[in-house]
Copies of this chain bind each other. A is one copy, B any other.
Amino acid sequence: LHRALSGDVAFLLHRIFMRSISVLGSDKQITKWIPLASQYQLIGSYAQTELGHGTYLQGLETTAVFDITTQEFILNTPKISAMKWWPGDMGRSATHTVVFAQLYVQGKCYGVHPFIVQIRSLQDHSLCPGITAGDIGPKMNFEHIDNGYLMMQNVRVPRENMLNKFCEVQPDGTYVRRGSQKINYFTMTTVRISLISDEVLIPLMKACTIAIRYSVVRRQSKLKPGEEEAKILDYQTQQEKLLPQLAAAYAFHFINDYLQELFDRGYKKIQKKNFDTLPELHAFSSGFKAMVTQHCTSAVEICLRACGGHGYSLLSGLPSLYTKILASCIYEGENTILLLQTARFLIKCFMAASAGQSVPPSVTYLAAVKPGKCPAKNKLDFLSPDIYTEAYQHMAVRLISSTAAKLQDLIQSGVKKHDAWNQCTVQLAQAAKAHCHYITVKNFAETVEKLETKAGIQKIMKHLCDLFALHGIFSNSGVFLHDGYISGAQMDLVTASYLDLLAVIRKDAVPLVDAFDFTDKSLNSALGSYDGQVYHRLYEWAQKSPTNKQMSPAYERYLKPLLHNTPSKL
């Protein structure tokens, strides 16, 4: 159900509320709150972002002052820019929320901490004393989610409501930390990884399904004189729009597995209060969230535009997929900021690796800088995963090392550290993307290799892997040509191989989108949620005026078969 609806349901933040408690709460807190939340005896939200601060969490202005006499925290919104702004499900639904606030004990500020705060009555759902809350207004999508604002005036919660697995205020006001201060942001790390599969990958799969199926039914213009008009998927330009997006959907499906594994390993350690993997997890979850959301957003836009006017009609389902997925580039960490977090980690690892120190296994490649040139001699060589993976690795190392060098040069020439950093940020973001792109290609190639027992699947996955890799080189050719690692003549071979692959994959394209089984049950219901969405829009719209209803027959007779063809008609 969740795969089919992917985000088109309310109470998404309820899950994040629960995750915060599971990750940051003590066993006692988990025992108290999780059963209540699981049984929907309360509805949770997650109140971090404020009107004045999203990215810069240290700048949050909401305060939580410990009152030793009553053993309570007193929460306040000291000014309007401190108002919580955006939390999902808060405008009218949530009864409770996790509020991030600056903790003060005996006049001393201990930084941002999470507090469970009840905001609405469990009897009549009215706002609790001291609470002002409501909806923040219309957005580009998510009409069904009541993103809200929240202001607090002397709202008191018991001492036990600060999530205290990793830090605690004791009854006498003593502040105790167990582990890294950064653990408070760990909910976001977990959310960034889980949103890839839940909120980003599935919309891309749906968009590919709609656009590719449309392209084998829609005919337009003649490819060969005297013949019937051609299916638009038989045009090279249409293949070049859609098939790389299909390949990307698989690439990100596999990188999601990779991240999940990395996260599970790291989280086991964190539960044992070993925080060593925290920087790596933070860097990877940030960079991949940014790369994948950016790529998938562009991909959905390409799918929409590839369907022409019919794609622009709400009835295709594509516009709402786009306006929703776009938000993923902003929420849970704005992408540029996230890439710079990854870049900071990479630069640090690069310096450490250069100095011979040990670095996490995922970035040991940074130590292995080989000058060399790409050894490919003909276009078939570029279908070798070793050849292209090596090219991506070389490119990532070059971008990271050259930016590290620029940074050092600036600092050595007397520019202050923070100014130097700012002057390198465009290139740092590029370097972080390059790293994520490399890992994605490498992981795709390794995954394909492991499929060897399933020959039919391996063959077509190999084509998609090649396509994903070569599309990346073709469309970012500059970074590969820059130092001559790939020559101009070799780039022509890349282009030839890439364009050849499009024609090869074209004949498997529809089975490949049919494999995105949104229900885990049957191929035919893959478009079930899409159909439902279209009918919903059509119904809503038809209600507006009686004449609007006239259009329905046209939809039934022509548009529906055009947009919702069954796999049998290829």
Q: What is A's interface to B at a CB cutoff of 8 Å?
A: 49, 51-56, 59, 80-81, 83, 85-86, 91-92, 134-140, 149, 219-225, 229, 235-237, 240-241, 301, 304-305, 308-309, 311-315, 319, 322-323, 326-327, 329-331, 334-336, 340, 416, 418-419, 422-427, 429, 476-484, 488, 491, 495, 499, 537-538, 540-541, 547-548, 550-551, 554-555, 557-559, 562
A426 and B334 in contact, given A80-B558, A482-B477 (Cβ under 8 angstroms): no
- Option from B53, B340, B557 in Cβ contact (under 8 Å) with A220: B53
Q: List the 4 closest pairs (A to B, CB-CB), nearest first.
A: A477-B478, A140-B319, A134-B550, A478-B478
A139 and B312 in contact, given A481-B482, A482-B491, A554-B80 (Cβ under 8 angstroms): yes
Residue of A83, A336, A423 most packed against chain B (CB within 10 A): A336
- Option from B235, B329, B423 in Cβ contact (under 8 Å) with A236: B423
Residue in chain B with minimal CB distance to A541: B138
A547 with B135: CB separation less than 8 A: yes
B478 with A548: CB separation less than 8 A: no
Residue in chain B with minimal CB distance to A542: B137
A484 with B478: CB separation less than 8 A: no
B236 with A551: CB separation less than 8 A: no
B138 with A220: CB separation less than 8 A: no
Residues in B neighbouring A314, C-beta threshold 8 A: 137-140
- Option from B56, B81, B329, B477 in Cβ contact (under 8 Å) with A479: B477
Residues in B neighbouring A219, C-beta threshold 8 A: 52
A551 with B137: CB separation less than 8 A: yes
- Option from B134, B340, B481, B554 in Cβ contact (under 8 Å) with A149: B554
Residues in B neighbouring A558, C-beta threshold 8 A: 51, 80-81, 83
Residues in B neighbouring A235, C-beta threshold 8 A: 422, 425
Residue in chain B with minimal CB distance to A58: B221
